[in-house]
Structure 1
């Protein structure tokens, strides 16, 4: 029986066909973009579209599009696919627009030819569609930096698919020594779009002997790596260093005041001596 058998005017139309080996293909599309479902016709190069019935259906047997003897036929198209498809007759492919995560799955294309005995399936193409969405550039948020608690960081990225594999932060200090820090990823999925958001929160020990570090967050998926912008962090000095610096500043101020006092005292004495000298007649 034809996969599209329908009942019209009380008559059941049964399509007779000879099914050749089905062709299996894979295609990938970006979220909210257009997916192309190929149906290359190789069995009859001299047959025109006006002699054929070409249609696509999804894994639930819902019809996406039908080209019937040279014309589009909309009455058999499921409501969820209306106004979402376009047929490329030159390349024998169907464009499925505004692709969502829920559109992933297998799609079948059938090419039939009308005969006096019914319809004969000349070719079937099965296409497995996968959908991807690029995660946003990871963003680093510095929550707290102290000598005692270390560096508290959060890195987050949004609206991606499929689920990421790992996320970590690279810390490079002023001596160009780089260390990788990772933690448990917090992953959430949007109920409507089915896209993922991910974050990690880390408390990284404070490096010894340095005053600043550079941080970089890396998000890895099955096919790519996404990097955050470099983030510079100036590390606070220890209390001992701060107190030592204050002591040095206080000493410098005292020394400057003493020198200033000595200079002023000398100038005052010099003025008095000039005033006490008798005038020359």
Structure 2
């Protein structure tokens, strides 16, 4: 819904039964109030049952708005017998109709499951059915070093009928687990859901192999400790042995 301001406060105190008010766009009558009553027979077919005037201030409410209805509207209170030479009131209102873009969506022709290290992945992000023309689209990458925005990807904008579509592509090499999002800047902002790119985890050894590995490691540690203690004891014993001097009498 949109509300267009007439800015007419009836300074001449014209009675409602005598009041005529027309809202129009170019040559199309959007709403007509004749002698204080709605006169839908004068209204253009594009606006029938889609407009209403607030009798408190004669502002126009429009419903079921489309992009085609953007433009300049006029609120006109035409001359009465006592105001033959001019309109009682005339004001203009410019209506800008916007269409929000869809939530950006990331797609890929590459398999994103169990990626090998240094895998090459091609991504595309797209959003559409928005108006007016968007400002830009961009990627954001989050890894162990934080979040950054690659500078080089170029986005493509297409005019489809009354609205615009926008897309962006990116080919990257995956070195570690990362999160990727795609952002849109237009008359509103939007961000895609997070895409997680995870590397394939190394295979986990069977439980029996794991127990054997632990047993061997413990045995090696024990063997090293025993060997070390044995060497220390031998060294201590060799240091504590004192040679005995024997005297042989001379004849």
TM-score for the superposition, normalised by structure 1? 0.65
- Superposed CA deviations along residues 167-197 of structure 1, whole A, max 9, x for unmatched, are 0110111232523355332333443xx2222
2:23/2:30 contact within 8 Å kept = yes
Q: Which of the two has higher C-alpha Rg? A: 2
Given candidates 197, 216, 223, the residue that maps to 2:165 is 197
Q: Distance in 1 between matches of 2:209 and 2:83?
A: 109
- Superposed CA deviations along residues 176-223 of structure 1, whole A, max 9, x for unmatched, are 2523355332333443xx22222111112434xxx20011111001x3
Q: Distance in 1 between matches of 2:83 and 2:194?
A: 70
Moved more, 117-126 or 194-203: 117-126
Q: Distance in 1 between matches of 2:21 and 2:85?
A: 11
Q: Distance in 2 between matches of 1:118 and 1:94?
A: 25
Q: Distance in 2 between matches of 1:87 and 1:48?
A: 16
**Structure 2 unaligned spans of 5+:** 217-251
Given candidates 139, 148, 153, the residue that maps to 1:178 is 148
**Deviation at residue 124 of structure 1 after TM alignment:** 0.9
Q: Distance in 1 between matches of 2:17 and 2:190?
A: 49
Is 2:135 aligned against 1:157? no
- Superposed CA deviations along residues 10-61 of structure 1, whole A, max 9, x for unmatched, are xxxxxxxxxxxxxxxxxxxxxxxx22221121351633332221001113x1
Higher strand share: 1
2:138/2:149 contact within 8 Å kept = no
**Deviation at residue 148 of structure 1 after TM alignment:** 5.2
**Structure 1 unaligned spans of 5+:** 1-33, 238-244, 261-281
Structure 1 residue matching 2:42: 3-state secondary structure = coil
Q: What residue number does 1:104 align with?
A: 70
Question: Are the structure 2 counterparts of residues 179 and 119 from structure 1 closer, same or farther at C-alpha, using a change threshold of 3 Å?
Answer: same
Q: What residue number does 2:198 align with?
A: 234
TM-score for the superposition, normalised by structure 2? 0.72
